[in-house]
Amino acid sequence: MSHVAQDAQVALAVDVGGTKILAAAVDANGCVLAQTRVATPAREGATAVLGAMRDALHATMKALAVDSPWLGLGISAAGIIDRDTARVIDATDALPGWKGTDFRAAFADLGLPVQAINDVHAALMGESAWGALAPTEGDKDAVPVQHAAMLAIGTGLGGALLANGKLFTGAQGLAGHFGRTQLQWQGQWLPTETLVSGSGLAYLYTALGGTLPPQAGAREVLAQDDAPRVQAALAEWSCQLAHVIANLHWAYNPEVLLLGGGMMDARQHWHLQVLQALQDMGLAPNLVFAELGTLAGVCGAAQQIFAAAGVPVRKGSL
């Protein structure tokens, strides 16, 4: 069991995805002091998922002896989250029965203040506090990034916006859902997520005549020995991503456009093509890759707790 000093400020956080749940104890330097990872029992419904969250949280609390009280519980989850009430007001099909979940009621017995936030919104706030967007440690003249847009490109496509140093969610929490916008391809309008995502690369590959098993994604495409078709799919995918970035550049004028998600692991296959496509448009936006990886969600959820408690954060060592 790890021990934390009496004057330490520690938040409890949990990030809920379609396949895994990560609970963590995070301090104001962004250091993850303890963590527990469990599978998400998504097919069993919301009650089972909440139970798995509780198990992960209890294991994390047990692993860390905290003399001072926990500051609160921050929750990062897929779906549209009402941050005022900590309720899920709309949800992805990956978590059946998730819509309507009331996190404050579900975890009231912990006796902690509860904050909830969309998972990509959480990732952006984590990166802003302790990751790619945070001022360099020790640089007293560094100015925090005030305006940023994030694209989280994994199996699907999520997004988030930072405006004047604060998360911008819009009137109903919908801002940043860039996957729901539209792109035109081969004469039809499609949700951006259909094209610009891991599953989008598979969609393009099969549309160009390739054959893949059901539910295949980017990994399966990149493993194909049909090099010309794979390269054609990557070229089209990169072009579509460049159009999304260009639209964000003109619509929001961010200082930084942050790229995260599972497709970053394959960026050697598409990054230069995206830069070239942007250059052909006469654009050179400040593209930055996310740094926190799988910890971004819990860090962002913890940041919400520190912000609510008025505790300043600074970039430490994760």
pLDDT digits (tens, 9 = 90+) for 178-221: 999 999 999 999 999 999 999 999 999 999 999 999 989 999 99
Tokens (6 digits) for 265: 């692991």
Which residues have CB under 8 Å from 234's CB, separation 6+?
201, 269, 270, 273
Q: Determine the pLDDT at residue 5.
A: 55
* Domain 2-131+294-309 part of CATH 3.90.650.10: no
- pLDDT at residue 92, rounded to an integer: 77
What's the pLDDT at 106? 98
In the prediction, which pLDDT does 37 show?
97
Identical topology for domains 2-131+294-309 and 148-290: yes
Task: Give the per-residue pLDDT at 127.
Answer: 97
pLDDT at 276: 98
Look at the chain and count its residues: 318
Residue 116 bridge partners (DSSP): 75
Look at residue 316 in the predicted model and tell me its pLDDT.
Answer: 63
| pLDDT beneath 70, residues of the chain | 1-7, 67-68, 138-140, 316-318
Could you give the CA distance from residue 112 to residue 58 in angstroms, rounded to a whole number? 13
Task: State the Cα–Cα distance between residues 162 and 149, nearest whole angstrom.
Answer: 6
User: What residues does each domain of the chain span?
Assistant: 2-131+294-309, 148-290
Distance CA 281, CA 273 (A): 13
Cα–Cα distance measured from residue 64 to residue 282, given in angstroms and rounded to the nearest whole number: 52
* Fold for the domain defined by 148-290: Nucleotidyltransferase; domain 5 (3.30.420)
